[in-house]
Amino acid sequence: MTRVPGLPVSPGVAWGPAALMLERHPVMRCGIAAANVERERGRLDRAREASATQLRAIHARVAQQAGADLASLFEAQLLMLDDDLLVPRARRIVESDRVNAEWALDRAFDQFCAVFADVGDDYLRERRGDVADVVGRLRRNLRPAGSGGGAPAALAAPAVLVADELAPSFAAQIDPAMILGVAFETGSRTHHSAILARSLGIPAVAGAALVTTYIRPGTLVLVDGDAGEVVIDPTPGVVEEARRRRDRRAAGAAPPRARPSGPVLTADGAAVRFLANIERLEEVEAARAAGAEGIGLFRSEFLLGGRAVDACDEEAQYGVYRDLVERMAPHAVTIRSFDIEESQASGRADAEPEAGSRARGPLGLRAIRLSLGHREAFETQLRALARASRHGSVRVLLPFVSSVDELRSARAALRSATHAVQGTGPELTAMPVGVMVEVPSAALTVDLLAAEADFFSIGTNDLIQFCLAVDRADRRVAGLFDPLHPAILRVIRQVVRLARPRGRPVAVCGEMAADPGALLLLLGLGVTEFSMSPAAIPEARDLVRRVTMGEVRRAAARALSLPTSLDIAALLAARFPALASWPLGRDGRPHMEGHS
């Protein structure tokens, strides 16, 4: 039995055979028939050819832009590509072991590394990195075009998904009935895959370093989403304890209550609205049952499920949006335009980054930047939204806006899309256009944006990431992701103040709103509309009823003068008896992101 610590990102406990999803190291071993040996060898040859073509192009480009010295690195990689220890050896392994090309290449690489491990020469040892680079390229070229790589085939039986990197687009393709629990090496609580696991009620652990290297497909694995731990080959005793815990939780689950409706009133009568964040159409029922007064955030990119940005045509999108609107009627539905990264735009998670860019990262070409660059796909989405607006109330939400220029360009695209739809059916009424406040430049210019936006929604997941310089996908800095950081309170107060003169509503749709202590703070800072996962709404509604606006305003005013998030958490815990069950950790801070 091996225990791998991680971050608890979705509560509950689950166990079962592991299904591996390896984005970085596709190493599935498949036995092959003798008749398929040539096919697998052919795949290796084609991957080698494609790699050589790419390396020659990179070499020429680098030689021209950065000089011959640097370019020689790629000359060396081209030579490695032809080394007898790599592709030719992998070809031999395909035949001798009767295995797939990927597995054979991996074995060849292992043997290659073993040889180099014994070499005393530092220079030669360092070349191992270059070989790994070449092997990575070969692996990518072994994948079928557009596959995005790494995803396990449809599961035959329920399993625990263990992944190195769980891209949200792949997570979205998962059949929840087949996934018992999820463990992945990267990420944190606000990673989209973690958010999705919570909304599906699947226990999950993120940031479980190197977990995929300890697990083979089929290994019994237990995911403890309460403690933040992955247990490999758990003993019968550990499984039994988990079973008791799961049963207790099921027995203690609150019986379904009468569906609450309408705005919630604080103890002194102020109205507070709760809306739902959803990623999938199927969540509408849960949103309604939780008393959501609408959808505050529909993450439309989950429709793509990792496919290219133009994979979901207008008709298909219209069908989903219309369904959503009709099922939520009479409430409004806020649909966010695709918030994807560059690698997803082409549907190739493994696509080569452009020269001078990074393959991934939260600061690159994503969300509205990408939509404006893929104008056709953007207008397709906007046309689908405009058509859906004939069936109910649709609001358009723009992610990652960082300037008024972007808002104007997006509005121009919307005008063109609306124009195309106008005249094809009943008269269209203008859809309100909102801006996600999740980039500091937007937060600081809400007054300017307010002149041209109809509403705002603060995305604290990204806003905190950018204000505190903490990559939400990097488990190593997850402990620094601090929603109660004084800077975060100040920036939110500022957004509320800047939006006020024009009377633009400001909601919070990031995960911060789902934390009881932070919720009261946000209320005290002047936010009265919250959007969160349906599962978090009932508790939030109950909490708000038990406090007065005077209390929360005073607490927020005091919190704004405190120097650390620890002080702020202590203040909240002391002032609000209703927070008695607020899960404060041993360090006195709430069990929010990074404090677990």
Q: Which residues bind ligand PEP (CB under 6 A)?
A: 192, 297, 299, 339, 438, 459-462, 509-510
Least distance from Mg ion to the Cβ atom of residue 285, Å: 25
What is the DSSP code (8-state) at residue 303? G
The answer to whether residues 28 and 102 touch, using CB atoms and an 8 Å cutoff, is: yes
Whether the bond between 88 and the residue before it is cis, its omega within 30 degrees of 0, is no
Stretch that binds Mg ion, among 376-384, 458-466, 535-543, 579-587 (CB under 5 A): 458-466
How many Å is the maximal CA-CA distance in the chain?
Answer: 78
Segment lying near Mg ion (by CB under 5 A), choices 29-37, 319-327, 415-423, 434-442: 434-442
- Beta-bridged to residue 474, according to DSSP, are none
How far is residue 387's CA from residue 507's CA, in Å, rounded to a whole number? 25
Q: Is 434 in the site for Mg ion (CB under 5 A)?
A: no
Q: Chain-centre distance of CA 34, in angstroms?
A: 42
Nearer residue to ligand PEP within complex by CB, 81 or 397: 397
Residue 191 site contact among Mg ion, ligand PEP, none (CB < 5 to 8 Å, cut-off depends on kind): none
Query: Which residue's CB is nearer to Mg ion, number 150 or number 459?
Result: 459
- Cβ-contact 70, 62 below 8 angstroms: yes
181 or 510, CB closer to ligand PEP?
Answer: 510
Nearer to ligand PEP, 141 or 277 (CB): 277
Q: How far is the CB of 83 from ligand PEP (least distance, A)?
A: 43
Residue 512: burial class (beta carbons within 10 Å; 0-12, 13-18, 19+): buried
List the one residue from 462, 482, 515, 593 that touches Mg ion (CB under 5 A). Answer: 462
Least gap, CB of 413 to ligand PEP (angstroms): 21
Query: According to the binding rule CB under 5 A, does residue 459 interact with Mg ion?
Result: yes
The one of Mg ion, ligand PEP, none whose footprint includes residue 299, by CB under 5 to 8 A per kind, is ligand PEP
Q: Let me know if 281 is exposed, middle or buried by CB neighbors in 10 A (0-12, 13-18, 19+).
A: middle
Q: Is the separation of the CB atoms in 139 and 105 below 8 Å?
A: yes
CB of 512 to ligand PEP, least distance (A): 8
Pick one of ligand PEP, Mg ion, none as the site partner of residue 509 (Cβ within 5 to 8 A by kind): ligand PEP
Hey, how many other C-beta atoms are within 10 angstroms of the C-beta on 231?
Answer: 23
Report the residue number, 488 or 555, with the smaller CB distance to Mg ion. Answer: 488
Contact between residue 55 and residue 78 where contact means Cβ atoms under 8 Å apart: yes
- CA gap 500, 88 in Å, rounded: 68
Task: Using the Cα atoms of residue 278, residue 282, residue 287 and residue 293 in order, give the sign of their dihedral.
Answer: positive
Please tell me the count of residues contacting Mg ion according to CB under 5 A. Answer: 3
Residue number closest to ligand PEP, CB atom: 459
**How is residue 58 written in tokens?**
């990179």
Span of 256-264, 317-325, 454-462, 490-498 interacting with Mg ion by CB under 5 A = 454-462
Stretch that binds Mg ion, among 60-68, 315-323, 376-384, 430-438 (CB under 5 A): 430-438
Shortest separation between residue 184's beta carbon and ligand PEP, angstroms: 17
Which of 192, 374, 485, 595 is labelled catalytic? 192
- Measured from the CB atom, the residue of 212 and 528 that comes closer to ligand PEP is 528
Tokens 């909304």 belong to 199
Helix, strand, or coil here: 38?
helix
DSSP state at residue 511 = G
Residue pair 560/489 in contact (Cβ under 8 Å)? The answer is yes
Q: Concatenated DSSP letters for 52-92? A: HHHHHHHHHHHHHHH-HHHHHHHHHHHHHHT-TTTHHHHHH
Say which residues have a Cβ less than 8 Å from residue 567's Cβ, sequence separation at least 6.
Answer: none
What's the closest the beta carbon of residue 467 comes to ligand PEP, in angstroms?
12
In the complex, the smallest distance separating the C-beta of residue 339 from Mg ion, rounded to whole angstroms, is 6
The set of residues, in sequence order, having a beta carbon less than 8 Å from that of 419 and lying 6+ positions away, is none
Choose among ligand PEP, Mg ion, none what residue 460 binds, the Cβ cut-off being 5 to 8 Å by kind: ligand PEP
**Least Å from the CB of residue 510 to ligand PEP:** 3
Q: Which helix (H) or strand (E) holds 223?
A: strand 220-224
Q: Is 192 a catalytic residue?
A: yes
Residue with Cβ nearer ligand PEP (174 or 397): 397
Interacting residue with Mg ion among 279, 301, 438, 471 (CB under 5 A): 438
What residues contact residue 442 under an 8 Å CB cut-off, 6+ apart? 401, 402, 403, 435, 436, 449
Give just the sign of the alpha carbon dihedral 486, 490, 496, 500: positive
Task: Give the type of residue at 284.
Answer: V
Closer residue to ligand PEP, CB minimum distance, 6 or 296? 296
Q: Is 471 in the site for Mg ion (CB under 5 A)?
A: no
Of 106 and 438, which has the nearer Cβ to Mg ion? 438
Nearest-approach distance from CB 461 to Mg ion, in angstroms: 5
Given 191, 374, 485, 509, the catalytic residue = 509
**Residue whose CB is nearest to Mg ion in the complex, by number:** 462
Cα-flanking dihedrals φ and ψ of residue 182, to 5°? -135, 135
Catalytic residues: 192, 509
Contacts to Mg ion by CB under 5 A: 438, 459, 462
